[in-house]
Amino acid sequence: MVATSSPAELWSYIFEYLERPSLRSLSVVDHGFRSIAAPLMFRAITIHQDQAPQFQLMLQQTAYNKHVRVLEVCDQLEPTLDQEDAFSKPEKVFAYLPDYWPPQKTHARDPSWQPVAALLRSLPVLTDLIWTCPQQFPTCLLRSLHDNVRFAACRLHLRTFRLRSLATTETIIDAHELELVQSPNLYSIWVCYDGDDVSGSTIRLPEAVSCAMNGVAPNLRVVRLRQAIIQMLPAFPLSASQNHENKKIRGLNSLLPLQERHCGSVEQLQLIGAGPALRAEQVVGWSECTDFNSLRTLILDADIQGEALSSLAGYNFPNLTTLALSLQIEAGMMSIPENRPYDSISGPARDFLCSLPPLRKLRLKGEIRHSSLQDVLVYHGPALRTLQLIPSGYSPHRLSLLPREVRWIGAYCRVLQNLSLQILRSRGDADEVAAYSSLGSIPCLQTLDLRLDASDYIALRNEEGIEEPDPDPAPWAPILAPAKPHFDDFDREFGSFRDSGGLLDPLKGQFRDMFVNAALDRKLVQSIFVKLSGAKPARSMPFDRVEIRSVGGGDFGKGPTPAAIATVMREIQRRWLFQTEWSSDEPGRGFRVTELEYNETLNDTHLDLVGSDLGNEDGLDPRAALIFRRLWATEGDWRRDWHSFPLA
């Protein structure tokens, strides 16, 4: 037997790093491997309602039930075991919507869940029960948790939390829902609610959640709350027909006597925004129902007002280690100087971030003045293990960094292990090369998601990125950045792609530079990886995974991408992955480079198709061809003629 060639403890340690398919394959190859892999393969299992009897029989016959620590019950929804990362995509939570069945129908369906309850009772060491079904959590499962002493410490995770009796005409909350919200097993809830529910219960739901946090659910530690679109509506008093909901909220508030009530001890709070920006008074409301001293993770995937950031800076977060913020300076793509908001975000964001203890994980999304970002990196950099900078919005202050700004990360964040950022390309010049070397010099950096940004948000603005109109301009006229020194007469001509809408094109040279910055073939991506890996200090951690992709082609920050330009960008923008590869022939590790499917979205939702010759033989618009052929002169298939340009 292969497994006996080394101690079982060693194989068990190795197997901890393998994915489930690999474990399954090894368990088939060798009986000894099967006994080692089984505890890992069955540590967490996902079932559907109708699979419970078969799983129970199989686990009992093989005695694998003693290995099950996590049970996820799914019905119509995707499993969530891989979504526990604090920085998982917030849009994933949107899919986990509860049904709208009244409590009476929920109780009527309870017998159908008895097989799942039987499976639950057969798992002696279960630590986590995850409910990923649109239905209300059944009474029989709650009884199984409460009536068995061995489940006293089992944590209940409700992915579709909803108190359905809030939407009925009853004046009291359903007894089962009261017991559920008071359960000592209740550990985490995902709350997803929409403006589609016109009954008014969506308005009261955040209050019900706050009550659960405010000591009613004694062991509630994780709350993910998606803000409702209905909050965009003006405030209005509840009608007489809705008064029953006020009574139910009072009923929740009265579950604990006032003298026994205390702030909850939520450790992870995530707010996902689909409505207006988070306000200061909402911050005060959350502070009244949970103790910010207990928070370890705060994820604000919602726009936030500067006043709310200032309010947050006034609280203590002594145990906070993970933070995500979404920041917005400009309101929209077509903002004009008269309605462009004053930057009320950068200063308060910097003050809030620098009031916190040094963080281990930080994600910033959106826009912030880069001088404020530098202050944040100086303060938190020495402690950061994970950093994600994700640009969004239409301001030059979005989080796409110049090469010289990328070097801040290499200078201040010396213990980073995971990094995701976007760098503005500068035609592969010395500054850009120095930025790659700076990132590679971080000793512990193992995973890197590097987006090479070809966009140009300065072309239709001045150098500071602020539009300052002439004394008497056309209403839409932008202030153009000056031509660059390397532009020739052709480059100084205006493009002729926007045939409608009153938008002026950038210069042809600016389009040509964008082609240079967007082109990413195997040769260039390998050169970049050599710069990254070659800068690694001696005895430092080698890279494990590096993903490099080209983004931003055709994006000038104002208006959609012309169709002729989008056609070129779809061809020359690529996505590549370098991954560790161990070889049995040669000692040590190597890297396998793979081209991945390109899934970035071009800013071409409303392509300007007027006058665009997309029906010709090779699909290249003649206007784009004039610029394209000045870079790649070969008169063949343009899709094969292009290539990247070398680094300096």
Model pLDDT for residues 372-400, shown as the tens digit of each residue: 999 999 999 999 999 999 998 877 788 99
Mark residue 465 as left, alpha or beta (left: phi above 0; alpha: psi -120 to 50; beta: remaining).
left
Could you give phi then psi for residue 138, rounded to 5 degrees? -70, 155
Secondary structure in 3-state letters for 546-600: EEEEEECCCCCCCCCCCHHHHHHHHHHCCEEEEEEEECCCCCCEEEEEEECCCCC
CA torsion sign for 425, 431, 434, 438 is negative
Which residues partner with 420 through β-bridges? 388, 449
- What was the pLDDT predicted at 479? 56
| Mean pLDDT of all residues belonging to the chain | 81
- What was the pLDDT predicted at 89? 67
| pTM, entire model | 0.86
Q: Does residue 587 carry a pLDDT above 70?
A: no
49-58, 377-386, 463-472, 572-581 — which is least confidently predicted?
463-472
Q: Report which of 348, 280, 359 is spatially closest to residue 319, judged by C-alpha positions.
A: 359
At residue 560 the predicted structure's pLDDT band, cuts being 50, 70 and 90, is: confident
- Gap between the Cα atoms of 279 and 3, Å rounded: 59
Which stretch, 165-174, 222-231, 237-246, 571-580, has highest mean pLDDT? 571-580
The predicted-structure confidence for 444-467, as pLDDT tens digits, reads as follows 999 999 999 999 988 877 554 444
Q: Report which of 310, 313, 309, 318 is spatially closest to residue 291, judged by C-alpha positions.
A: 318
Q: Report which of 33, 23, 39, 36 is spatially closest to residue 2, judged by C-alpha positions.
A: 33
Could you give phi then psi for residue 290, rounded to 5 degrees? -145, 150
Q: Does residue 57 carry a pLDDT above 90?
A: yes
Structure tokens given for 95 = 């899919």
Q: Which residues contact 534 (CB under 8 A, 6 or more apart)?
A: 437, 440
Residue, of 229 and 360, whose pLDDT is higher: 360
> What letter would DSSP give residue 395?
S
The size of the chain, in residues, is: 648
Q: Does residue 197 carry a pLDDT above 80?
A: no
- What was the pLDDT predicted at 239? 35
Q: What angle do CA 113, 115, 117 make, to 5 degrees?
A: 70
H or E segment and range at residue 189: strand 186-192
Beta strands in 240-296 (DSSP E): 268-272
Which stretch, 34-48, 126-140, 495-509, 576-590, has highest mean pLDDT? 126-140
> What letter would DSSP give residue 639?
H
- What was the pLDDT predicted at 487? 93
- What was the pLDDT predicted at 207? 58
Structure tokens given for 572 = 């020359």
